[in-house]
Amino acid sequence: MNTDIVISFLIASTALAFAPGPDNIYVLVQSVSNGIKYGLATVFGLVTGCLVHTSLVAFGVSALIGKNEELFFMLKLFGAIYMVYLAYRVYKSKAGISFDNAGIPSKGLLQLYRQGFIMNVLNPKVSLFFLALFPGFLFSNTIPVVNQFFVLGFLFMLVTLVVFSLIAVMAGFISDFLKGNTRAPLVIKWLQIIVFIGIAIFILLADK
């Protein structure tokens, strides 16, 4: 096993996780809106969604997606529609978001986990990204390629979990400064809507 390749993959994965994108922005917004543990629930949803994409890549399904324009478009469309649906739900919710620790968050841990998971799974670009990334970091001539893909997938998930959790914790502390600010709840509500719509546009405009 070539450990230098594995280390290079870990470095690349860390840089990618820190790079501004729809996923870590989504984590930041949810953590500010609902608190640290709710941001972490979102992180776990996003990360476990990567397991689905890793499986698709390992067994070659994503290659089929990459060659089928209609299937790729349908997956993008479903992902974008789901994001718009989430934006609509936020819009129809109460105008304010409570930052009181004694209050009950508008969304439960399971709901935020599920949203993060579905958001990741319905983004076909993740599978295609893995398909493009993983072959360049195969680290052994003796281990089956399928197994190596799963190892790389789990390493990517681990790095993403650590980085996104750090973002969630740091963003959660920001909510403490927002307590007592009467305008903050409305600003956060519209920030969530903008993030969801932005992710929908990002998915729709994504090419291969």
**What does the pLDDT read at residue 161?**
95
Q: Considering the domain boundaries, does residue 15 fall inside one?
A: no
Q: What confidence tens digit (pLDDT) does each residue in 24-57 have?
A: 888 888 888 778 888 899 999 999 999 999 988 8
Lowest mean pLDDT segment, chosen from 97-101, 118-122, 132-136: 97-101
Q: 119 lies in a domain? A: yes
Domain with 94, as residue range(s), is: 3-7+22-205
Predicted model pTM = 0.70
Report yes or no on 39 lying in a domain.
yes
Total domains in the fold of the chain: 1
Residue 16 domain flag: no
Band of residue 117 on the pLDDT scale cut at 50, 70, 90: very high
In a domain, 135, yes or no: yes
Is pLDDT of 128 > 90? Answer: no
Give, in order, the Cα–Cα distances in Å from 140 to each of 1, 2, 11, 58, 151.
5, 6, 18, 15, 11
DSSP notation for 75-125: HHHHHHHHHHHHHHHHHHS-S-----TTSPPSS-HHHHHHHHHHHHHT-HH
Which amino acid is it at 30? Q
Give tens-digit pLDDT for 148-188: 889 999 999 999 999 999 989 988 777 666 655 667 667 76
Residue 196 forms part of a structural domain: yes
Residue 168 lies in a domain: yes
pLDDT at 49: 92
Coil vs helix vs strand at 3: helix
Q: Is 157 a domain residue? A: yes
First-to-last C-alpha distance (Å) of the chain: 31
pLDDT digits (tens, 9 = 90+) for 73-92: 776 787 678 778 878 887 88
Taking the C-alpha atoms of residue 106 and residue 112, their distance in angstroms, rounded to an integer, is 10
